[in-house]
Amino acid sequence: MTGKFISFEGILFPRLNYSPEVLREVHESFLIKHEDVLLLTFPKSGTNWLIETVCLIYSKGDPKWVQSEPIWDRSPWVENKYGYELLKEKEGPRLISSHLPIQLFPKSFFKSKAKMIYLIRNPRDVFVSGYFFWRSAKFVEKPESMEEYFEWFIHGNMPFGSWFDHTRGWMSIRDKENFLILSYEEMKWDTRNTVEKICQFLGKELEPEELNSVLKNSSFQAMKENNMSNFSLAKGLHFEENAHLLRKGVTGDWKNHFTVAQAEIFDKLFQEKMADLPQELFPWE
């Protein structure tokens, strides 16, 4: 896999919008401020749902902001050239998104009081979501088949590397008080409670009707219809016309796609790689 990817410190990134120079500068010199809020995920874990939810919490449920500014400008990705330039110019408290593994994240974070939310998702569903997403993206090598993508995924030979390493890396700071771990599954199964948890972590208080509006405007349907959040602005240039960021929005879709053999290989790998972590961190099991 070459051509559309670059490799930086052993991790693959799309050539489009990423460069070793920017990745190095982000890691070495980007200054995270105490008042910044960081939204961290492995791609396809529900990143955009988290961003939308936090934006709506900031606007107290008023949908004007999420309906008027593209999601990648509201909470730019620090590691790509576009997001990095935007963030350097932004004044005041910033929302910052990232898919970076911990070893490449801005060093300044680890000395700051900035709050970080790390959202995880069943890697089997991350795999399925990623397969359809990368197939519809024009800026990456497309997997030829689910079998091929399975090999990439279990060996971490894909953008942002191994899900297992990414998750293990970030979980190593799980005891820090400025670090909150959430799962896509708990967001799905008890959205209201999860939004309340985020509010508490960020020190934000919402009136009941404001909370209802956050829930309404961050729902799957509302986001699917919101052109500022559903990636439709990037269709044609960066994505195929049939691309859908908001594809199904459910838990457990992997059961419709994995073969029995793949499910067994995955279970074994998960055991090998994650067995020493508290299993309550993985609410889908």
- Contact string (CB under 6 A) for ligand A3P, positions 67-106, x = contact: ----------------------------------------
Whether 279 and 164 have beta carbons less than 8 Å apart is answered as: no
Which of ligand LN4DG7MM, ligand A3P, none does 5 bind, CB closer than 5 to 8 A by kind? none
- Contact string (CB under 6 A) for ligand A3P, positions 124-153, x = contact: -x---x------------------------
Alpha-carbon gap, residue 22 to 201, rounded angstroms: 31
* 3-class DSSP state of 226: coil
Our CB check for ligand A3P shows the closer of 238 and 247 to be: 247
Our CB check for ligand LN4DG7MM shows the closer of 165 and 210 to be: 165
Residue 214 C-beta: closest distance to ligand LN4DG7MM, Å:
20
Q: Establish if 251 lies at the interface with ligand A3P (CB under 6 A).
A: no
Residue 197 C-beta: closest distance to ligand A3P, Å:
16
Which helix (H) or strand (E) segment is 3 a member of? none
User: Would you call 99 a catalytic residue per the annotation?
Assistant: yes
Residue 91 C-beta: closest distance to ligand A3P, Å:
27
Dihedral class, residue 92 (left if φ above 0, else alpha if ψ from -120 to 50, else beta): left
Q: How many helices (H) and strands (E) does the chain have?
A: 13, 6
* β-strands 11-14, 37-41 pairing: unpaired
Q: Which two tokens stand for residue 39?
A: 């939204």
Q: Establish if 166 lies at the interface with ligand A3P (CB under 6 A).
A: no
Residue 39 C-beta: closest distance to ligand A3P, Å:
10
Contact positions toward ligand LN4DG7MM, by CB under 6 A? 14, 43-44, 47-48, 99, 159
Whether 7 and 64 have beta carbons less than 8 Å apart is answered as: no
Contact region for ligand A3P (CB under 6 A) — 31-39, 63-71, 154-162, 247-255? 247-255
* β-strands 95-98, 37-41 pairing: parallel
Which of ligand A3P, ligand LN4DG7MM, none does 161 bind, CB closer than 5 to 8 A by kind? none
* β-strands 115-120, 37-41 pairing: parallel
How far does the chain reach from its first CA to its final CA, in angstroms? 32
Residue 279 C-beta: closest distance to ligand A3P, Å:
23
Residue of 247, 270, 281, 284 that binds ligand A3P (CB under 6 A)? 247
Q: Which two tokens stand for residue 158?
A: 């894909």
Alpha-carbon gap, residue 191 to 177, rounded angstroms: 22
Alpha-carbon gap, residue 143 to 206, rounded angstroms: 44
Provide CB contacts within 8 A for 33, sequence distance 6+.
Answer: 93, 94, 112, 114
- Active-site hit among 34, 99, 155, 257: 99
Q: Establish if 183 lies at the interface with ligand A3P (CB under 6 A).
A: no
Binding residues (CB under 6 A) for ligand A3P: these are 41, 43-49, 125, 129, 218-220, 223, 245-249, 253
